[in-house]
Structure 1
Amino acid sequence: MQQVDLQEDIKAVRDCGPIKVWSVVVTILGDLLQDEESWVSGPVLDALVRPLGINNQALRVALHRLRRDGWVVTEKRGRMSAHRLSAEGWAATERARPQVYGAKGKAAATVSLLIGEPSLTVAEFEALLPAGAVPLSTRSALVSNLSETPQGCLLSAFAPSDMPEWVTETVAPQVMRAEYDELASVVEKVLAHPVPEDLFDRTSLRLVVLHHWRRLCLRHGAVQDLVLPRDWEGARARQMVLRAFQHLPRPKIDALEQRVPLR
């Protein structure tokens, strides 16, 4: 791939949505650091985010925020800084891995319809809902990982084949579908190009794909994949992204540290 093609590919993926620097850093650490004790140096991190249009000052601000919020730990190693996820950051990353890297999203056998008793306020009903639930009305929702039925509520098996159009639109609004469709289309074009020869080019391209996929798929839980057709836009995007992960494999952190380019 010629350099201009690589830059165009990175820009095309980068433009699929907003780039929040702190979120990009979490994406990078979660992808490259495969155990809780691994670290990445400041120069490597800087070299990876630069092609995404992120300068060193913005990176420093993001790392400061992540340290303040308890997501990242930083230590000095000689003249350089090194960074890793905190225990809390690592635990949150591990919980997200099945949804981000899995072939079918979060594992769940069935989807259920939860209906709250009429005396519940909207806030009280929402407080009962597990993460990833899709509210259908003020006191009803689709859930996929509720361990027990809240007192006074009705929990019933849900048949996806019976969904009216308004439920489909509530589960996956057109805005969500359009974002997934855009990412899938852009990644499909990237996959038609040769793999970049340079290790950092290859890794930066992988990471910007992963960042936007992670940004989209972590907004919801398993309900969408369980009740929508197999070819819905989110499922197509997942297929393209998983192909991209094979096309652009995760590098060893040691290889990046040994080959970090000089500024």
Structure 2
Amino acid sequence: MDLQCEQLERLIERFQQRRPLRTGSLIITLFGDAIVPRGGAVWLGSLIDLLEPMGINQRLVRTSVFRLTREGWLIAEKVGRRSYYGLTAAGRRRFEKAFKRVYSGVQPTWDGAWTLVILNQLDPDARRDVRQELEWMGFGGLTPGMVAHPMVDRAELNATLQEQNALEDTIIFETRAQDSYASRPLRLQVRDAWNLEQLSEGYREFLDQFRPLWQEMSKLETPPPMECFLARTLLIHEYRKLLLRDPLLPEELLPSDWEGRAARQLCRNLYRLTYRGAEAWMSERTETAEGPLPEPGDGFYQRFGGLD
């Protein structure tokens, strides 16, 4: 594969060298970022075609799609001899919960309050599962039986506890705002509860990978569509994995040199640079059961606070 962007070639080689090669996760990224906004379903052959420049062969795509279908992420529709795949209703809910973080705009202002969830009344196995699910939502552990978050969506919290059959057996407190939103003891507690140093290292690695790509592609008068598609897909794939670990804490609780700020700015800039070319590449190479991909809806252009 002959690419104009040397940095993009390096990123693709780096992706190909990972073991295990998590093709299923990349396919979910592709659906969430590019296919859902344009109808939500594509021909299997289109997926194979789109992922081939990543060094992912047809057999691996088919195996990964089969596994995602068996796990309840994807559903197939057969039209003649062709299979078209889209997210299941459950898969779409999981996707929306994960990707809402990726494209959100400015963080809302924090009022200094906290939400505390006490899990002591759950049996040990349920407590472990619920705690894991809440930590995925961004909660941090204060004690073995209690987790906390400063800016959680209460409706989303209740829905998650309901899905885990734990809503009736957990205790939820909402604290009042304090005079000092981010005292030194609180900052130290936050650093320990959320392991911010490990997350910060992940953001530094992200910046080291994608800043050179941004610098190279921004010098091109018109970045090639295929390279835009590959760059955007890898960008969102790596950024999404970081955000799944990021509790998205208020600015008042974060270090002054928090790398997450620079990572978000870089992601937004590179996405804005590549999205048009990527969409053109998708239009040319992808088809649905009804024919060409429909155009993205208005919500697509509101990503990262507005793409235009």
What's the TM-score bracket when you normalise by the shorter of the two chains?
0.7 to 0.9
Spell out structure 1 runs of 4+ moving beyond 4 A.
12-19, 119-130, 148-154
Q: Distance in 1 between matches of 2:189 and 2:224?
A: 48
Verify: 1:61 aligned to 2:68, yes or no: no
1:66 to partner: Cα distance: 1.0
| Aligned 8 A contact 2:141 2:148 in 1 | yes
Query: What SS does the corresponding residue of 1:114 show, helix, strand or coil?
Result: strand
2:164 aligned partner: none
Corresponding residue pairs, total: 256
The aligned amino acid for 1:31 is D
2:283 aligned partner: 254
CA deviations on 1:158-209 (whole Å, 9 max, x unpaired) are: 6234334353143234222111110022111110113574322320121011
2:41 aligned partner: 39
Q: Distance in 2 between matches of 1:153 and 1:177?
A: 29
> Mind listing any 5+ residue stretches in structure 1 that lack a counterpart?
259-263
1:100 to partner: Cα distance: 0.9
Verify: 1:167 aligned to 2:190, yes or no: yes
The aligned amino acid for 1:60 is R
Verify: 1:214 aligned to 2:237, yes or no: no
1:23 aligned partner: 25
1:22 to partner: Cα distance: 0.9
Q: CA RMSD in A?
A: 3.6
Q: 1:81 to 1:201 in 2, by over 3 A?
A: farther
Give the structure-1-normalised TM-score.
Answer: 0.78
1:195-234 alignment runs, 5 A limit: 197-223=223-249, 227-229=253-255, 231-234=257-260
Identity, in percent, stands at 22
Aligned counterpart in structure 2 of residue 177 of structure 1, from 195, 200, 205: 200
Q: Distance in 2 between matches of 1:96 and 1:115?
A: 21
| Aligned 8 A contact 2:117 2:172 in 1 | no
1:80 to partner: Cα distance: 3.8
1:148-167 alignment runs, 5 A limit: 151=171, 155=175, 157=177, 159-162=181-184, 163-167=186-190
Q: Which moved more, 1:55-64 or 1:134-143?
A: 134-143
| Aligned 8 A contact 2:73 2:90 in 1 | yes
Verify: 1:145 aligned to 2:142, yes or no: no
Give the number of the structure whose residues are more often helix, by fraction: 2
Query: What SS does the corresponding residue of 2:286 show, helix, strand or coil?
Result: helix
> Mind listing any 5+ residue stretches in structure 2 that lack a counterpart?
159-166, 288-308
1:19 to partner: Cα distance: 4.5
Q: Distance in 2 between matches of 1:173 and 1:18?
A: 26
